[in-house]
Structure 1
Amino acid sequence: MAADAAHTPSEGRTDGERELARLFALQKEAYAAAPFPSYEERIANLNRIIRLTEANEDAFIEAINADFGNRARQETVIAEIVVTVSGAKLTKKNLKKWMQPRGAPTPLHMLPARSRIEPQPLGVVGIISPWNYPLQLALAPAIAALAAGNRVLIKPSELTPHLAETLKAAIASEFDESVCAVVTGGVETGQAFTETPFDHLLFTGSTAVGKRVAEAAAKNLTPVTLELGGKSPAIIDESADIETAARSIAHGKMLNAGQTCVAPDYVLAPRDKVDATVDAIAAAARKMFPAIDTTHDYTSIISDRHFARLKSLVEEARDRGAKIVEIGSSNALYPQRKLPLTMIVDPPADAAVMKEEIFGPVLPVLPIGSTDEAIAYVNKGDRPLALYWYGESDAARDKVLEKTVSGGVTVNDALWHVAQENLPFGGVGKSGIGAYHGETGFNTFSHLKPVFYQSRFASSALLHPPYTAKTDKIISFVRKIL
């Protein structure tokens, strides 16, 4: 495996690998020629993102629907179009402030010198986007990278080929390929992408693949942002209104048919309210999707392989005696890959559904005795990408926030912290490395360069050798004022 995709021989490489090498070399050359795009250039790039997203809205909706087999237009508009455009507009509004050098305190003994932090573009940023939100999770990091003044290459998932080609054409219609471009291809192209010596690489996907991406990037010492997943809990406190919590959890789990990295992965409910919780979630799901098997409002599972994996999780738990509650028919209209919301009540701790990220509309519901037990349960696993807490007790809420570690939290709802552009989005531990969105994203794709401006009146030369008794007196004085 070559370390530099831009300079490997072309023999034996796929078209995607050759195109990747060409575009990377082109963007590296363009960055070298113009390493610090102006504010006006960056705003123009953000306007291009907004324009291509809005102008191709119908085409994006159609492409995503074709890739999934079915996804509601409204769901794509909310989760892909609106989120992308709003993120670009917020970035435009704040970009001038973010670009400004930032003052840093200068110690008394170093005055009258000055210290500043000056944001600088990194160079060429690579983005590997996933299939579950294939437009938003390609363009949202691109917005941050372009705002920071970088060149951008995007590699979409091969599981969403219609969206990938539509996005490639849309970006080509607005951007010179030396600024932003899309590379399509299969596994070989994806592998070559991870081995390319980008100045920063962002990957969104599973923890297992994220490990391989990090290993490949490490060969070039490429810094990475990894947006992964994990088992995100929804904790229902004794003080919670069960029906209110259930509506939120049902929506959070069924959006995109649970194919969301921050979807509730399991529910911890008060021991004496488990049945009421299951009934309330079922009622909320039926209200949102009265005809779950046939409605166009409910998203299909992305592929036959993912559909079979989800069904196997359910069947293993069923075979081991867990109670299964399905909201929708059990055949799930297989040709359309419509999987009903399936709750698994108190599955064995070592069941597959409790050991791996579910990424679909399968929801374990477990009894828990107290806030302390809930905290202990969450903490015995890997740190989750998201945590949801429901209730009215400030003390219980604050205890959970203080004693658990997760990428982000929404209190008394699900998913919505991710939609707040002013909040960083990212994981911790096995749920991810680094974060973006808003100013955090701008900083992620910038080198925050420290600069020390020495004064012509500086006395630092007094500390140069040869060392004398006078040097010792100066050192003693400095130590006293520190």
Structure 2
Amino acid sequence: MSSNLQRQLDILRGAYQLERFPSLSIRLDRLRRVKAMLSENESAWCEALSEDFGYRSVDQSSFADITTSIKSVNHALKNLKFWMKAERRTPDLSLRMSGAKTYVEAFPKGVVGIVSPWNFPINLALSPLVSVLAAGNRAFIKPSEATPATSALLETLIAKYFSDSEVSVACGDVDVAQAFVKLPFDHIIYTGGEVVARHIMRDAAENLVPLTLELGGKSPVIVSASADLKLTAKRIAFGKYFNAGQICIAPDYLLIAPERLDSFLSELKAAVETADSAQGSADSVSVVNERHRQRLNNLVLDGEKQGGRILTFSGVNQSAYQLTVVIDPSDDASINCAEIFGPVLLIRTIGNLDEQIAYINQSSHPLVIYYFGRSEDEFRRVACETSSGGLVKNDVIFQYANDDLPFGGIGGSGMGKYRGEYGFKEFSNNRAVYKSGFIDVSGFVTPPYSDVFRMVNKLMRKI
């Protein structure tokens, strides 16, 4: 198994050695093939996704996996020639006077390994691929074994649209994944959980492989005293309804003043019933498999055992979606520290902004913090007094729809950023280039040192 993976890596690396700096036209061609692979096979993609999830709306799959990925391609196609331009830098004054020039130019790193998850198995494999190819690299993808139909289709279509010296796919179980991340890549991007990320970091350290880790975590929602509860509830319901809450940037827990809790719950119930009744079973998404469903059940049962109040909201389509709310369990409840990743919402009745910020800061930095309220001063306080990969005011999830924003976490929610120009730079060797001028500066700093040297040395400290 590992020898087969190494053999394929050798093919990709050999091709990179022969073409270390692909031209703009070659990169654009590869990006257009990604787009064609998505658009020409949309029905097959959606069928595979629905098979893997037990049921998944064709319209949601079309939007969340196909359209979002095509948008990433379009953004790169439009901007790549600008990203590839060398960035001028200003030499030190003494060097500038000698005619020296400096700039930074982005060169490919080589072969990038992409380890993608199951929740959006197309987008979270191909959106990184767009950045990797735009930067001029070769790519090797290990998709999730939890979505076998989609992963198999990805392997088939990549082989159809790309040579094995450009992009390759390795399907397989956990053993394949473990062997994959031990390969001597030039960079690895992993999207998934913190526990697996720690193993990947240890394995990557053996070969000093740089990493991009997108780890999710527990993204909080601050409900300010000035928040519109109807709007807040509607958008929280969306965040937990869309893809059944199986999104790394889904709202995980909510902080609200005790006196506003009942009003919020009333609005949340109405929002869930409206969304469920309007969308119905034809546009629903299931929890991906029984193992994850049981994991969610265990979080709720433990929360109840630890003193939490449990509420379940649902409308017409009860079998496909039920939002379960766990209110104020004790600090020992596992739901307080585990990423929920499903249609369950933890609520903590903490209404003071100082206490809300302190509560957020006692845990690992989240992937995103959501603030609902009208106060710019409060929003600025949240920005300055917390750390997270992203920060959103009065909405959830749609920050990901912006290809010109960096995506990634900090600390426990990950490292590195990708998408758009940030992805191009993440998977590039941003190389410092210095060209000497027409005056020999080295002679000036070679002993014996003169009074002029000493004068200029002091002067340089003041420039």
Regarding TM over 0.5, the answer is yes
Distance, in Å, in 2 between the alignment partners of 1:94 and 1:477 is: 44
Q: Is the 8 A contact 1:109 1:478 kept in 2?
A: no
Paired amino acid for 2:63: I
Cα separation, partners in 2 of 1:217 and 1:332, compared to 1, 3 Å: farther
Superposition map of 1:75-474 within 5 A: 75-111=60-96, 112-290=99-277, 295-328=281-314, 333=319, 338=320, 340-464=322-446, 466-470=447-451, 472-473=453-454
Distance, in Å, in 2 between the alignment partners of 1:308 and 1:468 is: 76
User: Which residue is 1:6 aligned to?
Assistant: none
> Number of residue pairs matched?
460
Cα separation, partners in 2 of 1:108 and 1:196, compared to 1, 3 Å: same
Question: Secondary structure of the residue that 1:296 maps to in structure 2?
Answer: helix
Distance, in Å, in 1 between the alignment partners of 2:457 and 2:185 is: 47
Paired amino acid for 2:454: K
User: Which residue is 2:56 aligned to?
Assistant: 71
Report the alpha carbon displacement of residue 124 of structure 1 after superposing the two structures with TM.
Answer: 0.3
Distance, in Å, in 1 between the alignment partners of 2:60 and 2:445 is: 66
Q: 1:42 aligns with which of 27, 30, 34?
A: 27
Q: Deviations over 1:174-200 (max 9, x none)?
A: 111101111111111101111001000
Paired amino acid for 1:325: L
Distance, in Å, in 2 between the alignment partners of 1:269 and 1:74 is: 34
Distance, in Å, in 1 between the alignment partners of 2:106 and 2:205 is: 24
Distance, in Å, in 1 between the alignment partners of 2:358 and 2:237 is: 24
Q: Is the 8 A contact 2:39 2:66 kept in 1?
A: yes
Distance, in Å, in 2 between the alignment partners of 1:395 and 1:264 is: 22
Question: Secondary structure of the residue that 2:209 maps to in structure 1?
Answer: coil
Q: Is the 8 A contact 2:365 2:411 kept in 1?
A: yes
What value does the CA root-mean-square deviation take over the aligned residues?
A: 1.7
Distance, in Å, in 1 between the alignment partners of 2:375 and 2:444 is: 61
Paired amino acid for 1:444: E
Paired amino acid for 2:68: V
User: Which residue is 1:5 aligned to?
Assistant: none
1:61 aligned onto 2:42: no
Distance, in Å, in 2 between the alignment partners of 1:368 and 1:481 is: 52
Report the alpha carbon displacement of residue 320 of structure 1 after superposing the two structures with TM.
Answer: 3.1
Q: Is the 8 A contact 2:220 2:369 kept in 1?
A: yes
Report the alpha carbon displacement of residue 296 of structure 1 after superposing the two structures with TM.
Answer: 3.2
Q: Deviations over 1:144-197 (max 9, x none)?
A: 000000000100000111001111111111111101111111111101111001
Q: Deviations over 1:421-476 (max 9, x none)?
A: 11100000010010101100000000000010001223332212x32335743653
Q: Deviations over 1:114-164 (max 9, x none)?
A: 100011000000000000110000000000000000000100000111001
Cα separation, partners in 2 of 1:314 and 1:477, compared to 1, 3 Å: closer
Report the alpha carbon displacement of residue 288 of structure 1 after superposing the two structures with TM.
Answer: 0.7
Q: Deviations over 1:240-273 (max 9, x none)?
A: 1100011001101221111110100011112211
Paired amino acid for 1:27: L
Report the alpha carbon displacement of residue 18 of structure 1 after superposing the two structures with TM.
Answer: 4.0
Q: Is the 8 A contact 1:289 1:297 kept in 2?
A: no
Report the alpha carbon displacement of residue 328 of structure 1 after superposing the two structures with TM.
Answer: 3.3
Q: Which TM-score applies when normalising by structure 1? A: 0.92
Cα separation, partners in 2 of 1:64 and 1:19, compared to 1, 3 Å: farther
Paired amino acid for 1:276: S
Distance, in Å, in 1 between the alignment partners of 2:452 and 2:212 is: 47
Unaligned runs of 5+ in 2: none
Cα separation, partners in 2 of 1:230 and 1:480, compared to 1, 3 Å: closer
Distance, in Å, in 2 between the alignment partners of 1:108 and 1:310 is: 62
Question: Secondary structure of the residue that 1:450 maps to in structure 2?
Answer: strand
Distance, in Å, in 2 between the alignment partners of 1:327 and 1:30 is: 55
Distance, in Å, in 1 between the alignment partners of 2:91 and 2:5 is: 45
Report the alpha carbon displacement of residue 339 of structure 1 after superposing the two structures with TM.
Answer: 5.2
Distance, in Å, in 2 between the alignment partners of 1:471 and 1:62 is: 77
Cα separation, partners in 2 of 1:133 and 1:365, compared to 1, 3 Å: same
1:21 aligned onto 2:2: no
Question: Secondary structure of the residue that 2:277 maps to in structure 1?
Answer: coil
Q: Deviations over 1:372-409 (max 9, x none)?
A: 11111111111101111111111111111111111112
Unaligned runs of 5+ in 1: 1-13
Report the alpha carbon displacement of residue 319 of structure 1 after superposing the two structures with TM.
Answer: 2.6
Paired amino acid for 2:283: D
Distance, in Å, in 2 between the alignment partners of 1:279 and 1:351 is: 25
Distance, in Å, in 2 between the alignment partners of 1:481 and 1:347 is: 60
User: Which residue is 1:3 aligned to?
Assistant: none
Q: Is the 8 A contact 2:72 2:127 kept in 1?
A: yes
Q: Is the 8 A contact 2:389 2:407 kept in 1?
A: yes
Q: Is the 8 A contact 1:462 1:471 kept in 2?
A: no
